[in-house]
Structure 1
């Protein structure tokens, strides 16, 4: 039996850095959604564990114990075997949770293959702060260092455009460069009647990592400006620690038109239209 799993991209609509613990980890308050752009995994029974990485974004992605997919398998079933194929479509180190979502998808797929229960969210922090949020993709509010997962509001109909300009941004360097680390938390998301109303509310919130990431990779500013210039863009913002940015649109038609125009203008960028998903 072959088991398949989808690893959707994670988009931080907001990301408020609210503090830093004595152990150095930062506390966050973030509104998160997942979209239908992502990686795909398949799992087959085998005596030993193996990982094959394929797809258009496979270059540079390790196929051994360095990969979070492998680490997730070891956490879920130490000593168990499976033949795993990871088909990479998302850029790496891009602020959209590619590795974390891959690890969470591996946990979901292997739990079915091996007929075992999924771990508790707190156990998954060993794999990374974003993995608990990625385990059950749906709109959510992520707090603390990633261990506190609260239901998010019902999202209005909308479409997004994701852009990665092909530069990697160092997450530790971005956090280190923050001007302050005790910023105000996010107010409770109220739910919205339309994408335009939501974008207006989001515009009063923040991604506190955007300014230091922009200083590290000025091309992020060009990406945000390019999104802002497309017809129908309601909000342009960076996701996570960058360098991927997103634009929000009312309709799929607006997002598709923007994607086509941006791909023509910047063929060196990764540009992808997407819509939110829940799993």
Structure 2
């Protein structure tokens, strides 16, 4: 017996970042949008907790207890007094360390898959509580669609989306450490009074109405200067996508994946082709949004 869960990547259409808190985290106004790039997480009974991974960049995925998928199994099992004796296989298609919440997606996927495999029937609230314990982006990976994340991003308010949006994602060589990007954000803002993060009303309206031009005018990422400081070559990738007709271009989350909002699917192919030919990125992927959150697809 096995259970397979499909779980989406995300793009931050707004990432407003406050100053560092005493606990080292930052308050956020983080508008998540789930996009149609997915990992699939399959769990089956095993003598002990083990982990494997296949797909692009699989060699960069940790296969020990630091992986959020393994931690999800352990936390769920501990809450129910059982042993986390499962084999977890991740079929990875979300870029690794790319600012698209691939690790968080795997954590949410393993959590939902183990809950189904073990027949626990956990409530949505219990699963979201465990997700928040795993990491700031994990609750959204479970929920999908669109949502505003506050606190450190884990407190979600689901948002209405009135249409679909086409995106292109340029995958960079190597990754960027999220803690390093936040550290660079703090360095760049040293001595500066950082305002409290607030969700943009025009951006929320653009999502609600499905207005791609209004959304393009409203997207923003306060971590982008830090990501560009650590990886200046990303500016070239952003310039290529913009010149090819993207309506908006930004670093996805903490990077180094860059995201391009485009008018429609035809425009997406044009921008993706230009990015692939430019030599400024390793790959360019086309995806639609919003996508549904983690869901059981087999088992």
Q: TM-score, normalised by structure 1?
A: 0.91
Provide the C-alpha distance between the structure 2 equivalents of 1:184 and 1:5, rounded to a whole number of angstroms: 33
Instruction: Provide the residue aligned with 1:221 in structure 2.
Output: 235
Given the alignment of the two structures, is residue 121 of structure 1 paired with residue 108 of structure 2, yes or no? no
Provide the C-alpha distance between the structure 2 equivalents of 1:229 and 1:61, rounded to a whole number of angstroms: 34
Instruction: Provide the residue aligned with 1:175 in structure 2.
Output: 182
Instruction: Provide the residue aligned with 2:156 in structure 1.
Output: 149
Instruction: Provide the residue aligned with 1:159 in structure 2.
Output: 166
Decide which moves more: 167-176 or 85-94.
Answer: 167-176
Instruction: Provide the residue aligned with 1:272 in structure 2.
Output: 285
Given the alignment of the two structures, is residue 198 of structure 1 paired with residue 202 of structure 2, yes or no? no
Decide which moves more: 161-170 or 234-243.
Answer: 161-170
Assess if the C-alpha contact under 8 Å between 1:19 and 1:28 holds in 2: no
Instruction: Provide the residue aligned with 1:186 in structure 2.
Output: 199
Aligned residues: 275
Instruction: Provide the residue aligned with 1:14 in structure 2.
Output: 14
1:26-45 aligned at under 5 Å gives the runs 26-45=26-45
Instruction: Provide the residue aligned with 1:248 in structure 2.
Output: 261
1:102-148 C-alpha deviation (Å, 9 max, x unpaired): 10111111111111215343443332111122121111111111231
Instruction: Provide the residue aligned with 2:225 in structure 1.
Output: 211
Provide the C-alpha distance between the structure 1 equivalents of 2:241 and 2:50, rounded to a whole number of angstroms: 40
Instruction: Provide the residue aligned with 2:99 in structure 1.
Output: 95
Q: CA deviation at 1:10?
A: 1.2
Instruction: Provide the residue aligned with 1:85 in structure 2.
Output: 89
1:150-184 C-alpha deviation (Å, 9 max, x unpaired): 01231422210011221322322322232144354
Q: CA deviation at 1:29?
A: 0.2
Instruction: Sort the Cα spacing of 1:82 and 1:193 in 2 relative to 1 into closer, same or farther, 3 A.
Output: closer
Provide the C-alpha distance between the structure 2 equivalents of 1:113 and 1:120, rounded to a whole number of angstroms: 14
Assess if the C-alpha contact under 8 Å between 2:146 and 2:159 holds in 1: yes
Provide the C-alpha distance between the structure 2 equivalents of 1:19 and 1:268, rounded to a whole number of angstroms: 31
Q: Extract unaligned runs of 5+ from structure 1.
A: none
Q: Extract unaligned runs of 5+ from structure 2.
A: 294-299
Instruction: Sort the Cα spacing of 1:114 and 1:166 in 2 relative to 1 into closer, same or farther, 3 A.
Output: same
Instruction: Sort the Cα spacing of 1:80 and 1:151 in 2 relative to 1 into closer, same or farther, 3 A.
Output: same
Assess if the C-alpha contact under 8 Å between 2:30 and 2:153 holds in 1: no
Instruction: Provide the residue aligned with 2:137 in structure 1.
Output: 130
Provide the C-alpha distance between the structure 2 equivalents of 1:217 and 1:183, rounded to a whole number of angstroms: 26
The structure with more helix, counted as a fraction of residues? 2
Higher RCO by CA contacts (8 Å cutoff, separation 6 or greater): 2
Q: CA deviation at 1:26?
A: 0.5
Q: Give the SS at the match of 2:209.
A: coil
CA RMSD of aligned residues (A): 1.9
Assess if the C-alpha contact under 8 Å between 2:241 and 2:274 holds in 1: no
Q: CA deviation at 1:212?
A: 1.2
